[in-house]
């Protein structure tokens, strides 16, 4: 069976909420040489995205979406976690510390979990402050925790004004040195100017490339 067909099979298993099957299909794909990046993007994220139509005001199938989310997380915890390099010594310096949360009005957090896992396995100190978080809290907590970065996740378009506020508040506090990175479905078509942030990540891996580039520029 081609890798392409097997990814489709994995997508079907996740959409069907079959956690055990999803884990074994993902393991087989990795054993055949699929990269972790492709597993996350073309398998896990694509599976959840295909549930788009089940998550509208007209049709809202909570059970189906929740089961698919669990199957996705089972693959993250049982397969992806094993293949990511074990977290190196975590340094709590600002340029290795990221405060991560989902913006106010939004309770989506599967994408945030993926980002957290990837960053931690790359040696970053990640402070996850949860979902439905006010811009003020992002800023206060980032300052308290001595974080060099704020990672803000959003899957709902109406949250954009709140995202824009984070940088305004940082400016008021005289802390524009803290960089704001936004990611998540709702904002992938926007620019950093639209969101008033330093970087818009198109995927969880994008933030790793961004941080690496910043380091090599420094
Ligand atoms: C799962 C899901 C839910 C679940 C969430 C479960 C959970 N615990 O997270 C539940 C059922 C609760 C839910 C609820 C709702 N949902 Co919903 N949901 C989805 C769905 C199907 C998948 C999202 C998902 O988890 N994808 C998988 C993850 C891995 O992908 P991701 O989040 O995009 O993350 C990737 C990247 O974007 C990136 N990333 C994400 N965040 C960040 C942050 C940083 C810093 C970085 C660097 C990267 C990054 O990393 C990830 C991996 O690459 C989407 C459909 C879609 N097309 O996305 C709708 C969707 C997001 N939902 C939608 C809606 C409308 C709702 C509801 C309002 C529905 C309702 N009628 O109540 C409520 C929202 C309630 C609220 N106040 O938040 C809309 C949003 C439309 C819009 N643009 O505003 C969508 C797009 C569906 C649609 N019909 O269009 N939903």
For the stretch 31-44, pLDDT in tens is: 999 999 999 999 99
Write out the residue range of the structural domain in which residue 20 sits.
3-83
Q: Is the CB of 151 under 6 A from ligand 1?
A: yes
b/e per residue, 31-65, with b = 16+ CB within 10 A?
eeebebeebbbbbbbbbbeeeeeeeeeeeeeeeeb
Tell which of 29, 51, 83 closes a domain: 83
Count how many domains the chain has: 2
The answer to the question of residue 123 being in a domain is yes
Q: Are residues 29 and 130 in the same domain?
A: no
What is the distance in A from the centroid of ligand 1 to the CA of 93?
A: 31
Three-state DSSP class for residue 11: helix
Q: Is the CB of 101 under 6 A from ligand 1?
A: no
The answer to the question of residue 144 being in a domain is yes
Q: Is the CB of 22 under 6 A from ligand 1?
A: no
Q: Considering the entire predicted model, what is its pTM?
A: 0.94
Q: What does the block give as tokens for 166?
A: 């984070």
Residue 205's CATH number: 3.40.50.280
Q: What does the block give as tokens for 61?
A: 């199938």
Closest CA to 81 of 25, 152, 155, 26: 26
Interatomic CA distance for residues 191 and 199, integer angstroms: 8
Which residue lies with its CA nearest to atom 30 of ligand 1?
111
The answer to the question of residue 89 being in a domain is no
Q: Is the pLDDT of residue 96 over 70?
A: yes
Q: Are residues 102 and 79 in the same domain?
A: no
């Amino acid at each position: 069976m081609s890798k392409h067909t097997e990814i489709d099979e994995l997508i079907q298993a996740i959409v069907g909420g079959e956690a055990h099957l999803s884990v074994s299909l993902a393991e087989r794909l990795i054993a055949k040489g699929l990269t972790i990046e492709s597993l996350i993007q073309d398998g896990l994220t694509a599976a959840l995205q295909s549930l788009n139509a089940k998550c509208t005001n007209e049709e809202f199938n909570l059970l189906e979406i929740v089961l698919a989310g669990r199957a996705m997380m089972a693959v993250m915890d049982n397969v992806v976690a094993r293949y990511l390099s074990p977290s190196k010594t975590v340094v709590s310096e600002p340029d290795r510390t990221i405060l991560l949360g989902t913006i106010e009005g939004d309770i989506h957090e599967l994408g945030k979990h993926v980002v957290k896992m990837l960053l931690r396995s790359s040696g970053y100190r990640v402070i996850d402050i949860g979902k439905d978080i006010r811009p003020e809290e992002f800023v206060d907590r980032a300052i308290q925790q001595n974080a060099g970065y704020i990672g803000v996740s959003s899957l709902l378009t109406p949250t954009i004004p709140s995202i824009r506020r984070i940088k305004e508040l940082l400016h008021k506090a005289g802390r524009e040195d803290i960089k704001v990175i936004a990611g998540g479905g709702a904002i992938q078509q926007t620019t950093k100017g639209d969101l008033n942030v330093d970087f818009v990540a198109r995927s969880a891996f994008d933030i790793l490339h961004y941080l690496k580039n910043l380091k090599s520029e420094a």
